[in-house]
Structure 1
Amino acid sequence: MLRTVNRVLLALAGLVLLCLGGGVLAAGAGLDVPSWWPWDGRRDVLLSVADRERWRDEGWWWPSIIAGLAVLVLLALWWFCAQLRRSRLTEILVDSGDGEGSQLRGRALEGAIESEAESLDGVSRARVRLSGRRDQPTARVRLLLEPYASPAVTVARLASEAVAHGRDSAGLAALPAEARLKAAKHGATRVT
């Protein structure tokens, strides 16, 4: 939910800035702009002579304004790039031992760990998501447990079997994993 709100607010802010910038460029180019637009002609300026000369004697004023705006633009670009970054790891760097590296698709390792986790006794469904860096991935495992399953035993077997086999098969030194457990809800059934 927060990710969606973040992206909607970013898109709205970008749209407002794009419209304002386009309007200023249109007015500066001499194109027709609405009558309510504050800058309506080719000779009109964003800052009047009085506004610009108010701080003219202060040598620090304009460099500090330009530096502040530059920092603001860099922060906005960083925020925008952070929105586009994927949270799911698409590939894992595997050391093949010959000085070269190979790549393993993240979905392939996720699928292998999921299928082995689902084969554990008491696990109804498993979902695995890899995140982190290509050479140091982390796993988030969600397990839907049957009512008879023991959470402690299931987590121990998950760590010693499914996650350990995934770590060993990818040739990773470590594969930290976070497991979230949820109990399956079964509806009442009629026994006759």
Structure 2
Amino acid sequence: MSSSATARRAQGRSYGTERTLTVLVGIVALLAGAAALAVGMGWLGRFRAQRAVLDPLAVDWLRDHALYARIGAIVLGVLLLAFGLWWFFRSLRPERHPDLRLDQTPGAELTVTSNALSGAVRTDAEQLDGVNRARVRSVGTVAEPALRITLWLGEGTEVRRVWQDLESSVLTRAREALGVDTLPTAVRIELDTAGSARVR
């Protein structure tokens, strides 16, 4: 997997496949609707507009080949059912947070759980000046880990300074601990209003 793909995974779970399928289904439905409108309005001829939705020739062919039509319909239905179930469970599948195997030497294995990594980075991030709280998630793969960080800053905090401190201390320490040169990280910064004074 390329580093750019890992960086995209850090930014958020990819829904590209779902969006592509939705766009394709929408295009097919739009074309079918446009074709039905053109036929119904008589733009392709009045005789065609007055004919039944299902062509009589097609009805005659289906009547003459009823067995093959039923088999084809059953096979198509089974395929659509299998595809729908696969798509349903794929959409509900939770995002993976893999553990990181730093050493796979037999007898001396060293594994860092995703919770441990997230907790360590969150603790370091919350110690930065201006950061009220933080949330960290370990994403990516075992071979190419990535982080997703959300920081809630206090009012009046300088964002540029927090960003520099995060890179120079927190992320550098995480890269050194994991023994990697790059650690794709998506950072989301929000203003923490939980402790704001109530307006009277």
SS in structure 2 of the partner of residue 175 of structure 1: coil
Following superposition, the deviation at residue 139 of structure 1 comes to 1.6
Instruction: State the alpha-carbon separation in 2 of the partners of residues 56 and 167 from structure 1.
Output: 70
Equivalent runs, 1:6-17 vs 2, <5 Å: none
RMSD after superposition? 3.2
Q: Which letter does structure 2 place at the counterpart of 1:187?
A: A
1:137 aligned onto 2:141: no
Tell me which moved more, 118-127 or 76-85.
76-85
Equivalent residue number for residue 121 of structure 1: 129
1:93 aligns with 2:100: yes
The residue aligned with 1:41 is none
Q: Residue 82 of structure 1: CA displacement?
A: 1.8
Greater RCO structure (CA 8 Å; 6+ sep): 2
Letter in 1 for 2:175: R
Q: Structure 1 regions of 5+ residues with no counterpart?
A: 1-52
- Greater helix share, 1 or 2? 2
Separation of aligned partners in 2, 1:119 and 1:144: 12
- Given that 1:88 and 1:129 are in contact with CA atoms closer than 8 Å, whether structure 2 keeps it comes out as no
1:166 aligns with 2:174: yes
1:2-81 to structure 2, matched below 5 A, reads 54-55=62-63, 57=65, 61-81=69-89
| Change in CA separation of 1:147 and 1:128 when aligned onto 2, cut-off 3 Å | same
**What's the counterpart of residue 187 of structure 1?**
197
Structure 2-normalised TM-score?
0.56
Amino acid at match of 2:83: L
Once the two structures are TM-superposed, the CA of residue 126 in structure 1 deviates from its matched residue by 0.7
Contact conserved, 1:126 with 1:142, CA < 8 A, in 2?
Answer: yes
Q: Is the 8 A contact 2:103 2:111 kept in 1?
A: no
Aligned-pair identity in percent equals 27
Q: Is the 8 A contact 1:92 1:137 kept in 2?
A: no
Deviation of 1:75 after TM superposition, in Å, equals: 1.8
Q: Kindly indicate whether the alpha-carbon contact (under 8 Å) linking 1:92 and 1:135 is maintained by their aligned counterparts in 2.
A: no
